[in-house]
Amino acid sequence: MAETLRKLSDDLAQTVEAAGPSIVRVAARRRLPASGIVWSSDGTIVTAHHVVERDDSIEIGLPDGGTATATLAGRDPTTDIAVLRTSAAGLAEPRWRGADSLRVGNIVLALGRPGRSVLATMGIVSALGESWRTPAGGRLDHYLQTDVVMYPGFSGGPLVDSEGSVVGLNTSALSRGAALAVPFDTLGRVVEALLSRGRIRRGYLGVGAQPARLPDGLAKELGQETGLLLVSVEAGSPAEQSGLLMGDTLVTLNGNRIRHLDDLFAALDEEAIGQPVPAKLVRGGKLQDAAISVGERE
């Protein structure tokens, strides 16, 4: 038993040492610095959006003890991802792996560098699910929850599996009371968009809405029990320009069933922006077809 534990202990220490050169310190807020992960060797860093409070004069603490100045290349608050650019070159890229390689119960390490050296905490994957919509409306390709202790300054650092691969970015901002990680699949998609455009394009209607139960006949016809009741329509918004009225109940948009707010967020993806999309709504107790033009959220 002692030999088994000693080997496990040595293996974990080696995993931390191997990942360390890819973890940086990110000083972009007034309080304790946070952590970041080398995205590419040319000086691109990925970190958590909520730890970046300024756009320039960001100090990056490098693994060799040196420092570099970085600027913000782009951010997506809805998935808590920010991308930084620094002039530092020759940085060590980590080995990445998708969350589909994980199972509930797998051992993982959360690493951070809020100071000069790497800190580590260990836990297990406590929940793993399919695509998940964050409270801010962003889409994570996998729901990845662990029981690791998120110490101050760990946000923006890597979640590492037992083989030393980075499977996600740790964040304390997406769900209160739960340690979540943004999976690699989501990081790749969002970082690519931020590097090319500096932002994530998201659809916008300009409505306030809440779930509402449909009449039994319509519920049976549509195969869904609820729709989204429009409780407000902003003046001059895409919704108003498309003829939507307060009191309408939206039941489908662009071929997607609209039963809850999450369904609406999912339907307002980038591909829908700038064009009319087919919809069905209930007005005056009757089902109607409509074409709704989707705008772009600022």
Same domain? For 30 and 102 the reply is yes
In the chain, how many domains are there?
2
Same domain? For 194 and 230 the reply is no
Same domain? For 44 and 148 the reply is yes
Domain encompassing residue 226: 203-296
Q: What is the mean pLDDT of residues 269-295?
A: 90
Same domain? For 116 and 257 the reply is no
Q: What is the mean pLDDT of the chain?
A: 93
Same domain? For 194 and 257 the reply is no
Residue 267: pLDDT band (50, 70, 90) is: confident
To the query of whether residue 22 is one of the catalytic residues in this protein, the response is no
Answer whether 228's CB lies under 8 Å from 259's CB. yes
To the query of whether residue 260 is one of the catalytic residues in this protein, the response is no
The 10s digit of each residue's pLDDT in 59-74 is 999 999 999 999 999 9
Residue 200: pLDDT band (50, 70, 90) is: confident
Calpha distance 297→294 (Å, rounded): 9
Residue 135: pLDDT band (50, 70, 90) is: confident
What CATH number does residue 182 fall under? Answer: 2.40.10.120
Of 22, 141, 142, 155, the catalytic one is 155
Domain boundary pick from 160, 183, 200: 200
The 10s digit of each residue's pLDDT in 7-36 is 989 999 999 999 999 999 999 999 899 999
Same domain? For 255 and 228 the reply is yes
Answer whether 146's CB lies under 8 Å from 42's CB. no
Within a 13 Å sphere around the CA of 27, how many CA atoms are in the beta-carbon half?
Answer: 10
> Does the pLDDT at position 279 exceed 90?
yes
What pLDDT sits at residue 45?
Answer: 98
Percent of the chain with pLDDT over 70: 100
**Poorest-pLDDT segment among 107-111, 268-272, 285-289:** 268-272
Of 50, 76, 142, 161, the catalytic one is 50
What pLDDT sits at residue 182?
Answer: 98
> Does the pLDDT at position 257 exceed 90?
yes
Of 22, 35, 49, 80, the catalytic one is 80
Same domain? For 222 and 151 the reply is no
> Does the pLDDT at position 253 exceed 80?
yes
Residue 114: pLDDT band (50, 70, 90) is: very high
To the query of whether residue 196 is one of the catalytic residues in this protein, the response is no
What pLDDT sits at residue 33?
Answer: 97
Same domain? For 65 and 86 the reply is yes
Calpha distance 268→137 (Å, rounded): 10
Name the burial class of residue 232, with classes exposed (0-12), middle (13-18) and buried (19+) by CB atoms within 10 angstroms of its CB.
Answer: exposed
Q: What is the mean pLDDT of residues 30-54?
A: 96
Same domain? For 23 and 140 the reply is yes
Q: What is the mean pLDDT of residues 120-128?
A: 97
> Does the pLDDT at position 270 exceed 80?
no
The 10s digit of each residue's pLDDT in 155-164 is 999 999 999 9
Domain boundary pick from 182, 200, 218: 200
The 10s digit of each residue's pLDDT in 233-245 is 999 999 999 999 9
